[in-house]
Chain A
Amino acid sequence: MPGRHPRRSVLAAMAAVPLTGALGACSEGADTPSRGTTRAGKATRITFWSALRGSQEVVDAFNRTHDRIQVDFQQIPSGGQGGYAKLSNAARAGNAPDVATIEYPQVPGFAIDGVALDITDLVDASLRRKLLPQAFDLTTFQGRTYSVPLDVEPMVMHYRTDLFERYRLDVPRTWEEFADLAAAVRRKARDRRLVLFPTDGATQFAAYSWQAGAQWFDIHDGAWNVSLADAPTRRVAGYWQDLIDRDDIFVNAVESRQSDAQIGNGLVLTRLSGAWDAGAQMNARPGQRNQWRIAPLPQWDPARPAVGTHGGSTFAVTKDSRHPEAAMEFIAWQVSHPDALRARLSSGTSSQYPAASDLVAVGRDAFDRSYYGGQDIYALFRQEAEKIRDGWVWGPRMTATGKVMQDSFARAGAGRGTLIDSVRAAEDGTMPDLKALGLSTSRHST
């Protein structure tokens, strides 16, 4: 499209120095290096960008078994590290890949920007049946689907079973028990804490709120209804604020050396995160073998259990794809074929919980249980995935909303402001953005 490129470079110049990889990335164009090429000739070639580990192995396996379609894969940085900026800029320049990887919170944003194609008519009924409906709901807006879920990650509680035994602690079933436990841990071991409240964890906080029944974003009457500080969220914020105020938990960034040390030195007894984190932990700290177990996330009301998700990726066909059908075929194979999951797992251990229920058995067989003392964690994940609360909707600019929230969390962690102030700040910082995008909005927070 003429006129697009100069606009981008002019803005780039205006926004001063290209500091991050985000900008450097946009100079790379349509000629993606074709590494997984085995066959040439008449095959339809499609391009695929992903930051997910094991993608190269998946693409190689696909190319080995398919003649008609060949995939050129390019490993890109993860979303926050510039991957999303790269995708946006490529779409602006008109050379986005056929298939892109997008995490759940960013799906509405890319759909609104027209980067993710409406693929409702490309997703056939059999694929739809194979995938967990709660996962599909997160990528579907007003009956139109914009991407296909790969994995869905119910939030669970990873805990140090050895330390729980040493201090004679019971695994908490409710948040009330969890709070009592936090106080008990601080009493029994002065330098240890039950858990970390991550100041860079807007997605964790979203999962807590989601579980409690919050509805940060909602679509009805043709408008985006925003209510970040609704009653369930206020309850969650108040709960964690109390724990922080009593010094019963750690408050710092989770993506930090400090947090690494807390986990590595056994200072923190539980981690609340998605199912995928079981494999990540295994790879990061092989020395803690047999010290961790996994339990369901504590509940507000055990009679009506619910969880939110934390993490998980989807695949979208972009507007620049010249072969949407071929792209869709590749996506369908990637998310539902056992060979795809085996190939992905061959690159290292992963504990992702596939959105395709048939693949759960494959993941479970491939997973080395000894790290978790033989615990069948996939059985637990399956049981927890059933509890994912319906109706959650991510917002149109989730990265930015989360950033504003985290900026404020960091200040709250340093004693300036509270968690609920942070949530309100995130809402205040999001509304102008949505308005400038020309979206119809309404606010329901009190």
Chain B
Amino acid sequence: MTTTTEQPVRAPAPHTAAPADRARRTARRRRLAACGVLMTPFFLLLTAVFLIPVGTATYLSFFSDDQPGLGFGPERTVFVGLRSYAAVLTDPTFLGGLGTVALYCLIYIPLMVTGALVLALLLDSGVVRLRAWAQLGLFLPHAVPGIIAALIWLYLYTPGISPVIDLFARADITIDFLGVHTVLPSIVNIALWSNLGYNMVVFYAALQAVPREVIEAAVVDGAGPVRTALRVKTPLVRASIVMVAMFTLIWALQLFTEPMLLSQSSPMINSRFSPSMYIYDAAFTRNNYSLAAAASVVLLLFTIALSYGVTRFTSRNAAAEETR
């Protein structure tokens, strides 16, 4: 490609432009071309898997195949305004799903962030022997696809076939992982198992970037390992903590795979357990695409608002700390 572009330029060149100037221009053009080549896949994917679906969902949420009155007879597509949104926002089952997910986030996110951070600090401090193996062992569950993970845990949670429940039963402890109160913690457990290792690696990488002289200075000043970890290292990886918290939040709001699979074994997980399950149910069992689309848009806005809130809150805190 470069040769073909240079060829015609060179022919009339000798009198007009200085060689240095020409080289600079070619370099810039090349850089732009490289930029374009490297960015195109991103924008193509962004358009294909985000902008078009969001646009379609938004369109679907404002239109519906209608036959007014009782609904019998031929239908035509009409603009229905905010009708589907009103229906979603007054649906107790959808609001219940949002509540469930909020509770899930409250349990899951703090556990995940502190858990991953503690593990990363332990690995970084060099306390753990066989660091590579520990890292691999912790990271491996993340390589297991979510649906397989849910199946494995489903097996461990189901009474009658679970060796874990069996073991407890032998010690005369009856335990029901899928009961009214235990089902949410059980789902949190699956998510922790899958994602703890991944987030730990993120934190570990951030900790590796902490300048060694800072830590040495802390040690020289008399800080023990715990104090170094909490007062020196943790504040220095603050950006990673915010990022992990945000990704975890976004991921948690879309809770779907685990409850969907567990619902086959537990009547405590209903078909509209989380907003994502509500959307699936609205589209595929209720055949109510406008409602599903409206619920999707609501969930998207909810997610964006929460992520924005988290970013604003943390950056303001950071700014306040700096001025202090």
A123 to chain B, nearest CB (A): 16
B288 and A114 contact, CB distance less than 8 A: no
Interface status of B41 (Cβ within 8 A of chain A): no
Q: Take A7-B60, A407-B267 as given contacts and tell me if A14 and B53 are in contact as well, using a CB distance cutoff of 8 Å.
A: yes
The interface residues of chain A lying within 8 Å CB-to-CB of B49 are 13
CA distance A294 to B92 in the complex (A): 41
Q: Mask for B242-269, Cβ within 8 A of A = 1, else 0?
A: 0000000000001011001100000110
Q: Take A88-B287, A435-B86 as given contacts and tell me if A440 and B75 are in contact as well, using a CB distance cutoff of 8 Å.
A: no
CA distance A403 to B269 in the complex (A): 12
* Nearest-neighbor residue (CB-CB) of B93 within chain A: A429
B180 and A411 contact, CB distance less than 8 A: yes
Interface status of A93 (Cβ within 8 A of chain B): no
Q: Which of B215-260 contact A (CB under 8 A)?
A: 254, 256-257, 260
Q: Mask for A3-23, Cβ within 8 A of B = 1, else 0?
A: 000110011111111010011
CA distance A14 to B256 in the complex (A): 12
The interface residues of chain B lying within 8 Å CB-to-CB of A113 are 75, 287
A399 and B285 contact, CB distance less than 8 A: yes
Q: Which of A130-181 contact B (CB under 8 A)?
A: 141-142, 144, 146
A436 and B75 contact, CB distance less than 8 A: no
A436 and B87 contact, CB distance less than 8 A: yes
Q: 19 A-B pairs, CB-CB below 8 angstroms?
A: A11-B293, A17-B147, A19-B260, A113-B75, A114-B74, A118-B72, A144-B72, A222-B70, A396-B71, A406-B267, A411-B268, A425-B92, A433-B288, A435-B90, A436-B83, A436-B88, A436-B288, A438-B64, A438-B68
The interface residues of chain B lying within 8 Å CB-to-CB of A118 are 72-73
* Nearest-neighbor residue (CB-CB) of A407 within chain B: B270
Report the contact-size class of chain A (Cβ under 8 Å from the partner).
35 or more
| B binding-site residues for A, Cβ under 8 Å | 49, 52-53, 56-57, 60, 64-75, 78, 80, 83-84, 86-88, 90-94, 147, 160, 179-180, 254, 256-257, 260-261, 267-268, 270-272, 276, 279-294, 296
The interface residues of chain A lying within 8 Å CB-to-CB of B84 are 436
* Nearest-neighbor residue (CB-CB) of B80 within chain A: A438
Interface status of A127 (Cβ within 8 A of chain B): no
A17 and B71 contact, CB distance less than 8 A: no
Q: Which of B71, B73, B272, B296 has a CB less than 8 Å from the CB of A438?
A: B71
Q: Nearest 9 pairs between A and B by C-beta?
A: A410-B267, A407-B270, A436-B87, A432-B91, A112-B71, A432-B87, A436-B291, A438-B66, A15-B280
The interface residues of chain A lying within 8 Å CB-to-CB of B68 are 438, 440
A428 and B57 contact, CB distance less than 8 A: no
CA distance A346 to B290 in the complex (A): 45
CA distance A414 to B181 in the complex (A): 11
A15 and B276 contact, CB distance less than 8 A: yes
Q: Which of A10, A111, A416, A428 has a CB less than 8 Å from the CB of B53?
A: A10
The interface residues of chain B lying within 8 Å CB-to-CB of A237 are none
Q: Which of A15-43 contact B (CB under 8 A)?
A: 15-17, 19, 22-23
* Nearest-neighbor residue (CB-CB) of A428 within chain B: B92
Q: Take A16-B254, A223-B70 as given contacts and tell me if A433 and B53 are in contact as well, using a CB distance cutoff of 8 Å.
A: no
B267 and A199 contact, CB distance less than 8 A: yes
The interface residues of chain B lying within 8 Å CB-to-CB of A22 are 284
Q: Take A112-B67, A438-B64, A439-B71 as given contacts and tell me if A11 and B267 are in contact as well, using a CB distance cutoff of 8 Å.
A: no
CA distance A435 to B286 in the complex (A): 13
Interface status of A52 (Cβ within 8 A of chain B): no
B71 and A432 contact, CB distance less than 8 A: no
A254 to chain B, nearest CB (A): 12
* Nearest-neighbor residue (CB-CB) of B68 within chain A: A438
